[in-house]
Amino acid sequence: NAGVMQNPRHLVRRRGQEARLRCSPMKGHSHVYWYRQLPEEGLKFMVYLQKENIIDESGMPKERFSAEFPKEGPSILRIQQVVRGDSAAYFCASLATGSYEQYFGPGTRLTVT
Amino acid sequence: SQQGEEDPQALSIQEGENATMNCSYKTSINNLQWYRQNSGRGLVHLILIRSNEREKHSGRLRVTLDTSKKSSSLLITASRAADTASYFCATDPLGGGSQGNLIFGKGTKLSVKP
């Protein structure tokens, strides 16, 4: 049973470009969470999705950021018109229904130049 | 201010010693979880303690929870160089509105010297 997969592992974008980060949850997990981690900081919750639904996006910036978890395929975190302040590690985690243990992916390190 | 704050921020010990990390939080919780993160990697779940539990063990790990003081501690006994990592506590707030919206502290950086 493969763990949570994220790709790409490293992503470099110039200011103004778009970044697309992908997350495939563990098999059988229908809950996906996205977190952002700045250097030397803990993780900050961004958004919680179930298949085809955004459940909680209270941690996500109102502009330029969007997330989806379609019926088929991975969850996508999309950042439009990236700025230097978006440089961070982005982690997704998945959870089985009824469980409390989140399984984290290896993260995508986004660098905006 | 931040829910889930660990102290110390950094801890350096010799192999074989015990390491104790503390976490304080502000709101009522469903559970509290500890995670480990090796440099440049994702997080690994270590242990979960529910709000009605006071102590839990898993191998060389011992976690305590004091809901009256809103604090938790993680003890790693007989530490090894491989325990070198950052350790985070994360709280699942009561009435948080959505399942699993964890709130992380900034972590404790543990360095175990051989």
Chain B residue numbers touching A95 (CB-CB < 8 A): 99-100
Q: Which residue of B has its CA nearest to A56?
A: B98
Reference B32, options B40, B23, B41; nearest CA is B23
CA B87 to chain centre: 6
pLDDT tens profile A48-97: 999 889 999 999 999 999 999 999 999 999 999 999 999 999 999 998 88
CB-CB under 8 Å, A43 with B104: yes
CB-CB under 8 Å, A45 with B42: no
Mean predicted confidence (pLDDT) in B88-114 = 84
Reference A43, options B63, B56, B102; nearest CA is B102
Mean predicted confidence (pLDDT) in A29-41 = 90
Reported as a pLDDT band with limits 50, 70 and 90, residue B93 is confident
Predicted pLDDT at A99? 81
Q: Where are the beta strands (DSSP E) in chain B?
A: 5-7, 10-14, 19-24, 29-37, 43-50, 55-58, 61-66, 71-76, 85-93, 103-104, 108-113
Reference B102, options A93, A89, A45; nearest CA is A45
pLDDT tens profile B16-65: 999 999 999 998 999 999 999 998 788 999 999 999 999 999 999 999 99
Report whether pLDDT(B2) > 50. no
Chain B residue numbers touching A41 (CB-CB < 8 A): 106
Instruction: Mutate one of A100, A101, A111 to test the B interface: name it (highest B CB count within 10 A).
Output: A100
If residue A95 lies in a helix (H) or strand (E), which one and from where to where?
strand A88-95
